[in-house]
Each structure stands twice: as structure tokens, then as C-alpha cells.
A = this chain, B = another copy of it.
């Protein structure tokens, strides 16, 4: 594995999940593996879980992690080839990424989409500039279109809670939100759930269709109640429109999951990547109840990152 940016194949996903579970069982079993190796964690956007879990994952492998909050401690990066840099940007990504490539063994990069320039976001332009110019392995800490460490942690969590030998019914449901939110978590979850061979249904109001590139193999069902019937795992997430790019079409509160939504899925577990807007995306009763796996997902972020870093430095 050179970079970690997306779901590659089931065999690799299975190995990563297995490795993550092994680390969860014994976090410091590979404490010497990363000795003398450095990961640079580059944040172009805020973070809580991702920053902390990646640092902890690195420490558990004996690696050194250095965090750089480019937006706060550094300066604006120029992303365009051939730009005449006589405006606000101070350094070109091709120079900054190349330097970081000489400073670290691995880069871990967070770069959100603009939700304005659909072409640039869809090409994952900014994230890919780091890959193009750093010359070293790059791990996605959430790019414009994917959040694969989250999805790996989600797959680990499902594996821990599914009945063995039975293909679970997994539902990804859109939820209301007050802001325009990226598609990355939803895209990646769909990509990994289908890739891991789960029975995936995606439900959302009309107009919220995700990029078909990520939803191949999933069932699309516009009626949330129908989608939830018999669900084993319900993944809750808001995203803005993809076709009418970055727009909010509705904030219909009926889409917010409450206990009453689970009449036909009484044993369903509920997942969310956090941070969650309580009583907007998901009700307190669900989040604080027995269905919720959100804390377990967050904890598994450590071991997902540890499995990925471990495989990257091999």
C-alpha cells in the first residue's frame, strides 16, 4: 500500500480491519515498528477526533507525529499550476508539499472541499496535489470527496457488532443540517460498505443523490421508512446536494431519526461519524440510547489509523 485514500479491494480492507482489531486488543504490540519514522499531519481544516486519533496511532507504533495546522499557524497555499502569485497565497503547494516530503516518511492530510467548484472538488484536486508533489506516501484525513479512515473505523465497528455468517442490512440515511456539508463521509461509507459486500440501502430526499461513482451496488430508496425496514445498522449523515452542487434543498425535520423510526428495525444499531448536531441530525433519545455505536466508532478511529500507518511504513 503506497497511499491510503480510498477503498481499494476487499482483500486489503479485510486485512486492515483484522489489523485494526489486533491493535485494539493490544495497542502497543508494534511499539518499535515505527521507531525513527515521522508522520506529518497537515490540517487545512479543523479537527478533534482525527487529529488526536492519528497522533495516538503514531505514538502506539513508536512513530513521531508532528501536527501542522496550516490554516492557523502557517499561511495560504496556492494550488493552481502556473499561478502568478501576486495575491493572497504565500506558498505554492508544489514547494510546500515537496519540502514536507523531505521532512517526513508519511504525510497525513486533511483538505475539505469548497462546495463551490464542483470540478475541482470532484477531482480531489487539493488532496491530490499533496500526493503529486510530496513524493512520499499520503494518508487521507478526509479529502474533498472521501474520508477513508472514518470508513475503515466504521467497518471495524460493524464487524464487531454484526452476527457472524449473516450479511447485514446497512442503511445510509440522509439527515437534516443547517449548513452545507461535504459528501466525503457518505461517499466513503457507501464505497466501503458495498466493497465489504454488505447489503447497502441509501435513503435521502429527492435532489440529494450522491455521485453515482460511489453508490454503485447500493439500493436507492427515497422513502426513509421503507429503507429502514429490517435494518441492522443505520448510518446517519447529512450532506448537501451533489447535482445542484453544495445546495441545501430541505431541512425537513421528519428525516431526523427518533426512536419511533425503528418500529420495523427494532434491533438496529445507529452510527454517526461525529461531530453530530443533536436534535437536528439525530435525537438525544437515539444518541443516548442502546442503539448508538457512535462512541465505539470514534474509539476505533485510533486503531484504523494505526493499521493504516503500520501497513504504510512496512
Instruction: Using CB atoms and an 8 Å cutoff, list the residues of chain A in contact with chain B.
Output: 28, 36, 38, 40, 43, 46-49, 51-53, 55-56, 59, 64, 66, 68-70, 72-75, 78, 82-87, 90-92, 94-96, 98-100, 102-103, 178, 274-280, 284, 287-288, 294-295, 298-299, 302
A298 to B294, CA, bound (A): 41
Return chain B residues, CB-CB under 8 Å to A102: 295, 298-299
- Name 11 extra pairs, CB < 8 A, besides A94-B288, A95-B274, A103-B302: A48-B74, A51-B73, A69-B73, A84-B279, A86-B178, A86-B277, A91-B274, A95-B278, A95-B287, A98-B298, A99-B298
**B280 A85 Cβ-Cβ under 8 A:** yes
Q: List 23 A-B contacts (CB under 8 A).
A: A38-B56, A43-B73, A46-B73, A46-B74, A47-B73, A48-B75, A48-B91, A51-B73, A52-B100, A56-B103, A59-B64, A83-B278, A83-B279, A84-B280, A86-B280, A87-B178, A90-B275, A95-B278, A96-B275, A99-B298, A102-B295, A102-B299, A103-B302
For A91, give its contact among B43, B59, B275, B302 (CB under 8 Å). Answer: B275
| Identical subunits present | 3
Query: Which secondary structure characterizes the binding site on chain A?
Result: mixed
Q: Give the shortest distance, in Å, between A289 (CB) and chain B (any CB).
A: 13
Return chain B residues, CB-CB under 8 Å to A288: 94
Residue among A51, A52, A69, A294 having the largest count of chain B Cβ atoms under 10 Å: A52
